[in-house]
Structure 1
Amino acid sequence: MSRIAYFGPQGTFTEQAARSFAAADDELVPAETVPRALAMVRGGEVDAACVPIENSVEGAVTPTLDSLSDAEPIVAVAEAVLPVHFSVLTRHDTGEIRSVASHPHALAQVRHWLEANLPDAKPVASSSTAAAAVGVQAGQFDAAVTAPVAVEHYPLRELATEVADVRDAQTRFLLVKLPGEVPEPTGADRTSIVAVTANRTGTLAELLTELAFRGINLTKLDARPTRHNFGEYRFFIDFEGHVAEPRIGDALAALSRRCDSLRFLGSHPRADALPATIQPGAGNREFEAAADWLAAVRKGEIA
C-alpha cells in the first residue's frame, strides 16, 4: 500500500487525478497547498504526490513550477490529463446568490457562464475549488464552482453541472516521487527539466538550439523568476523523449554544460500516448551509430 498526497482538500480535480494513479489499497492524503503536498514527499510522510502542472486555458500552475525547483529534487514518474468541466454547488436553503467562490483558475474558466447565469453574484477567490465548497457549507459564500467530485464529499445542492466556457479545456497532473528508478521508455514519453542560465543575450536561444540540433520537439516552455536576482529566470522545459535514449542523453549533457544549474524533473510516459516526432537523421539508431564510429576511431580501427 502506498500513501499519495494531493492538492486538496477533498473534492478537487487533483483528487480525481490522484484516483487515476492509485491502486485499490492506496491511501489518498489531502494537502492544503501544492508546496505542502511536495514537502510531504520530500519529508517521507507519503510515497508520492499528485499535483496540477498546466491547464489548457490558464497555462502553467506556478506554485507547482516553483515548488518543483526549490528544496530537494523530486521527479515526475507519471502524468494524467483530465477534462475540466465544473459543477456549481449551493446550500439547500440558499435563495438569491450574491457571491460565488472558487480557485482563480476555475473562476477564469467559467467567467462567461457566471455573467450569463449569475450576473449579480460577486466572484470571490479561494485557495482551491474544494475550499470554496467548504466556505459555502459554512455560510461564507452562496455558491461554489467546484470539481464534479466535490458533491460526493459536501452536503450541498448541485445547481448546475458540466459548466465550462471552453468545452475541451483540460488540466495535466503529475505524479511525483523522490528520485530513484526512472520509468522504462515507451516511445511516447516526456522529459522535463528546469534550467538556470546567465542573464545575457541569447542564452535561452542557445538552450533551445541544443534541442533543435538533435531534432527534439518541445511540448512546453515556461519562465519563472529565481527570486534571487532581479532579471534572473528559471526555464521550465518539457520535450518529447526519454532520458534513456541516446539522443536525449546527448542533449541533456550539452544543456548541463551550458547552464548555471540544470535540474532533471523526470522522464515518464505521456498521458496521450503520442509517439515522439523524430526528424530524419535524429533517431536513436543514428546517435548509436555515431557513438560506435567515434569509439572505433579512438581505438585506431578507422582511418
Structure 2
Amino acid sequence: MSFRIAYLGPAGTFTEQAARRWDPDGRHETWPAPSVPEAIAALHEGRVGAAVVPFENSVEGSVPATLQSLLEADGVRITAEVLVEVEFSLLARPGTALEEVRVVATHPHAAAQTRAWLARTLPRARVVAETSTARAAQLVGEGEYDAAVAAPGAADAYGLVALAEGVADRAGAVTRFVVLQEGAPVPAPTGADRTTLVALIWQNRPGALLELLEQFAIRGIDLSRLESRPTGEGLGEYCFWIDADAHLDEPRLQETLVGLRRTTRDLRFFGSYPRADGRVPTVPAHADDTAYAQASAWVSSLGGSSPLTGPAGARGPTRR
C-alpha cells in the first residue's frame, strides 16, 4: 500500500536522504515537513503514513526536538532506523568570494560539527541557526544569508555553488534517523534489534538509577544508549531515554519490562526494530531463550500459578 512519508524539510536535507534510503524503490511520495513536531503531527492526524526524523548524531548527541515531540505523542512507534554519513559543504550564490562571507546559516547540529572549521576559516563571520541545513541553503538562494553549511546536494536544489567541501571538524560523523509510524505492529525479531524506552523514576533518591539499570544487568541486556532528559514538570524532574539491545519478543526483555513497570512511575515503549548496523548482541548463557524456557518449565512443574500474573484474575495497579 502506497502512502506519503514526511521528513524534515525542505528538499535537500539529510533527513530526505534517510527517507529515500528507507524507501529505495520510491514507492511512496515524500512530503517535506517544516519541523519535526509538524512531521509527527501529520503522522498522528493520518495525513502521512510514516515520518522520518533525526534522532541522534555521533558527534553532537540526541536531537532534543525529536525526543520532546515523541514524549508528547501517543501511539507513535519507531519501526526502523537509518544511518547516514554526514558530509557538509559551504554553499553560496554564484560569484560570492569566500572573503565576502559575513553571515553563515545552518542547523545547530551542523554548526556544532563545523565550529572549529568556521572559526578558523571565517573568523569574522556570524553563524545563525535555522530549522535545517536545507532551509539555510534555501534562504541563501533567496539572498537572506551569505552562505550555508549544508549537504552538498542542496547546491543544485537552490542554485548555489560550493565555496568549500568536506567542511567538518571530525570526519566520519554519522546521524541516526528513525522511521515513525502510528498503530504499526512491532517488526519481527532479526537477532540484531534495538528497543527504545523512556522511564520515569518514582522520585529522585540515592540508588534510583541503579535499581533501574539492575533490571537490565541481571537479565544480560546491554544498553547502547542511556540519557537523562527533563520531563518539563519542574527543575530536577528527569526521565531516562534507553536503547536496549534486545527485542520485545525475547523473554529476557519481557521480564525486564515487567520489572521496570513495577518499579518506575511511568514506562513508555517506543518500539523494537532492526538495528541499521546489523550488530548482533552477545547474550549470556543464563539469559538466552533456552535458559528462560527451562526456568519457566521448572516453575510450572511446581504446580503453582503463573509467576507473572499470580492467581487467576489478579491484576496489579494500572499505569499508562
Tell me which residue corresponds to 1:136: 140
- Distance across 1 between alignment mates of 2:76 and 2:293: 30
Whether 1:190 aligns to 2:194 is yes
- Distance across 2 between alignment mates of 1:281 and 1:208: 18
Deviation string for 1:116-172 (max 9, x for gaps)?
322232211112111111221121111000012212311111222222111121110
Tell me which residue corresponds to 2:272: 267
1:66 deviates by 0.9
Whether 1:222 aligns to 2:227 is yes
Tell me which residue corresponds to 2:314: none
1:37 deviates by 0.7
Tell me which residue corresponds to 2:70: 68
Tell me which residue corresponds to 1:21: 22
1:174 deviates by 0.2
Of 211, 218, 223, the residue aligned with 1:213 is 218
For structure 2, the 5+ residue unaligned runs are: 306-320
- Indicate conservation of the 8 Å contact 1:247/1:282, yes or no: yes
- Distance across 2 between alignment mates of 1:210 and 1:299: 24
- Indicate conservation of the 8 Å contact 2:20/2:26, yes or no: no
1:299 deviates by 5.8
1:283 deviates by 1.1
- Indicate conservation of the 8 Å contact 1:13/1:149, yes or no: no
1:230 deviates by 2.8
Tell me which residue corresponds to 2:261: 256
- Classify the secondary structure of the residue corresponding to 1:82: strand
More deviation, 66-75/136-145: 66-75
1:25 deviates by 2.3
Tell me which residue corresponds to 2:111: 107
- Distance across 1 between alignment mates of 2:38 and 2:103: 29
More deviation, 183-192/129-138: 129-138
Tell me which residue corresponds to 1:121: 125
- Indicate conservation of the 8 Å contact 1:53/1:172, yes or no: yes
- Distance across 2 between alignment mates of 1:170 and 1:17: 12
Moved over 3 A (4+): none
1:290 deviates by 0.9
- Indicate conservation of the 8 Å contact 2:285/2:291, yes or no: no
Normalising by structure 2, we get a TM-score of 0.90
Deviation string for 1:55-111 (max 9, x for gaps)?
111111111111111131311110011111101110013231111110111011111
- Indicate conservation of the 8 Å contact 1:199/1:231, yes or no: no
- Indicate conservation of the 8 Å contact 1:190/1:270, yes or no: yes
Which residue identity does 2:53 align to in structure 1?
Answer: V
- Distance across 2 between alignment mates of 1:275 and 1:132: 39
1:296 deviates by 1.8
Tell me which residue corresponds to 1:284: 289
Normalising by structure 1, we get a TM-score of 0.95
Identity of aligned residues (%): 47
Whether 1:11 aligns to 2:9 is no
- Distance across 1 between alignment mates of 2:195 and 2:32: 27
Tell me which residue corresponds to 1:151: 155
- Distance across 2 between alignment mates of 1:276 and 1:190: 10
Tell me which residue corresponds to 2:55: 53
- Indicate conservation of the 8 Å contact 2:79/2:180, yes or no: yes
Which residue identity does 1:203 align to in structure 2?
Answer: A
- Distance across 1 between alignment mates of 2:12 and 2:82: 17
- Distance across 1 between alignment mates of 2:245 and 2:67: 19
- Distance across 1 between alignment mates of 2:22 and 2:145: 33
Whether 1:92 aligns to 2:94 is yes
- Classify the secondary structure of the residue corresponding to 2:144: coil
Whether 1:78 aligns to 2:80 is yes
- Distance across 2 between alignment mates of 1:275 and 1:84: 24
Which residue identity does 1:224 align to in structure 2?
Answer: R
- Distance across 1 between alignment mates of 2:91 and 2:122: 13
More deviation, 129-138/221-230: 221-230
Whether 1:203 aligns to 2:208 is yes
- Classify the secondary structure of the residue corresponding to 1:153: helix
- Indicate conservation of the 8 Å contact 2:225/2:243, yes or no: yes
